[in-house]
Chains A and B, each alone.
Chain A
Amino acid sequence: MRRRATPYLLLAPALAFVTLLFVIPLLYNLVISFFDWSVIRTPTFIRLENYQRVWTSARFLAVVKNTVTFSLLSVPAAVVISLLVAMGFHSLGNSRGSSVLRALYFAPVVASLTAVSYVWVWIYHPSYGLANALLNGLGRPGLDWLTSPTQVLPSLAVMYIWARIGFNAIILLAGINAIDGTYYEAARIDGASRFQQFRNITLPLLNRQLVLVITVEVMNTLKIFELPFAATKGGPVGASRSVVMEVYEQAFRFDRWGQSAVYVVTLFVGIMVITGVLRRLLVRDISE
């Protein structure tokens, strides 16, 4: 007979780590958010004051606006391009050339977002960068890619999309490859156009992977940190400062850990609500 306790013993390390790395930090963070918490003074309990201070500050509204704008600029484009790339790969089939091609698209995925930052800071360089050289070659004036408050978020979105296409395309491609080819054959026999096939076969049968890609991208863009931190330091004049950058700055620069914790709570709840709503809206249960 197996001992009753065995499975629990096997699970004990995992549960210990779940407690240490997830449960305690989440609760701890909530506690900090109710305190005037500093590393040099004794923390004092101030109830909801941090929430009130943060949520009514102009800085909070600015970083939320920047982050949401960045997300809106990045996610739809990243998803659409990734889907097109995945469909392109699917139609190419499994030839040798296609695996080399896949490697090209996937290459930026292995780069850290810090490396991605410097790749593009150099491309966007005002005098020696490739981007402005190309524009000048086309007879157009160069752009202030990362130095203009209105241009900086689109420029960062380009960097982000570039870095993520390969990853998303692989997930979507796995989903497309799993679709039974006879559906398309039947649709063709019925005279369905390519667009109709896409709408009525590909999209619904790819629903799970699409929802996954969309929610992951929404999450990733809302918690963006490396790109604005390394490429622009949140500038110019705070135009690219993100929520997570503010988490870092409030704690480590201003020693206002309580307010930093409020940003964390806001981010966490925000991501939960937004991805939850998205799932509600997007998930289609298709039972055959």
Chain B
Amino acid sequence: MLLGGLLIVAPLLWVFFSALKRPDEILRLPIQVFPEDFTNLSNYKDLFIRHNFGQYFINSFIVAAIGIASSLVVALLASYAFAFHRFRGREALFVLVLALFMVPPEALVIPQYLMIAELGLVNTYLGLAFPDLFTVLGVYLLRQFMEGIPFSYVEAARMDGASELKILTRVITPMVTPAIAVFVIMKFLFSWNAFLWPLLVAQNQSMFTVTVGLVDFAGAEFNQWNLINAATIMSMLPMIILFVSLQRYLVRGVAMSGIK
């Protein structure tokens, strides 16, 4: 198991070490695994000073934030209705929403692109976040979690005359924070790593997200492997930090999405 684990991380370490090498050092034969100077961060500096990676990072964060905010609010409202209201068509609607899990996002990009082009949203943050404004996963995870909350909490609040919105925000939302955390992390992961959609929508370099910027950069500097490796590591950095600090939530999120 340990051997397998090392085999899995070896490619990442190789890229990490390569990103610390000087341009002449990286093209030396026979190849050396370790860099001469482990503190050589000049490649990383280059990405931000001579290239646009700072902007790409800001863009990716903004797009992720819009998508997370919108899909979380919409999912909270919908899952509250599914969990604490009895109404006609409840089951059918929930099944319909779940069925959307089966629709691959790739099957929607062409018409979605034509739609946002019509709306003048190409090269805008709203356009970049467009397919992320709502996610089935959010409704599914939050409803699942809310079903575990005893109905009496809601009933008691209703007796006290609290409005439905107040019950949702003051009573239910605090109780589902673990599910919200899982959802936000998963959503951030998907949004940060998305590629096809931002490739279509971000047509100006100033709007590139990190993944689009990485591909553009690697295409332009196809021989500067010290820089490409640094860019690859940089593009993963926020996810690696998130992963190390919140590993439990991430692993739980993946495991939860498997329990259907």
Contacts and interface: CB of A to CB of B under 8 A. Distances in A.
A65 interface: no
How many of chain A's residues touch chain B, expressed as a range? Answer: 35 or more
B148 interface: no
Contact of A165 (B8, B112, B196): B8
Interface string B106-135: 111111111100000000000000110110
Interface in B88-112: 90, 93, 96-97, 100, 102-104, 106-112
Given A108-B12, A128-B26, A275-B102, A113 B193 contact: yes
A130 B7 CA distance: 13
Contacts of A32: 110-111, 114
A174 B260 CA distance: 12
B174 interface: no
Most A Cβ at <10 Å: residue of B1, B96, B158, B200? B1
A133 B31 contact: yes
B4 A22 contact: no
Interface in A200-245: 208-209, 212-213, 219, 223, 225-226, 229-230, 244
A242 to B, nearest CB: 10
Interface stretch (A10-18, A53-61, A191-199): A10-18
A29 B67 CA distance: 24
Contacts of B164: 2, 6, 10
Contacts of B218: 118, 121, 230
Contacts of A108: 8, 11-12
Interface stretch (A44-52, A71-79, A147-155, A266-274): A266-274
Given A14-B75, A21-B112, A271-B104, A175 B258 contact: yes
B49 interface: no
A115 B85 CA distance: 44
A118 B232 contact: yes
B195 A113 contact: yes
Contacts of B211: 112, 114-115
A62 interface: no
B77 interface: yes
A88 B77 CA distance: 41
Nearest to B257: A171
B255 interface: yes
B158 A21 contact: no
A187 interface: no
Contacts of B11: 108, 119-120, 123, 130, 162
A109 B251 CA distance: 10
Among A14, A102, A107, A257, find the residue whose CB has the most chain B CB atoms closer than 10 A. Answer: A14
A118 B218 CA distance: 8
Contacts of A268: 103-104, 107
Contacts of B161: none
B254 interface: yes
Contact of A107 (B9, B93, B195, B214): B9
Contacts of B176: none
B150 interface: no
Given A110-B239, A120-B11, A225 B195 contact: yes
Given A10-B78, A107-B243, A114-B235, 14 more contacts: A14-B139, A21-B108, A25-B112, A29-B111, A32-B114, A114-B195, A115-B193, A118-B228, A120-B11, A122-B232, A123-B14, A162-B8, A174-B259, A244-B196
Closest 9 CB pairs of A and B: A17-B134, A112-B193, A171-B258, A104-B5, A7-B85, A10-B81, A14-B78, A174-B255, A28-B111
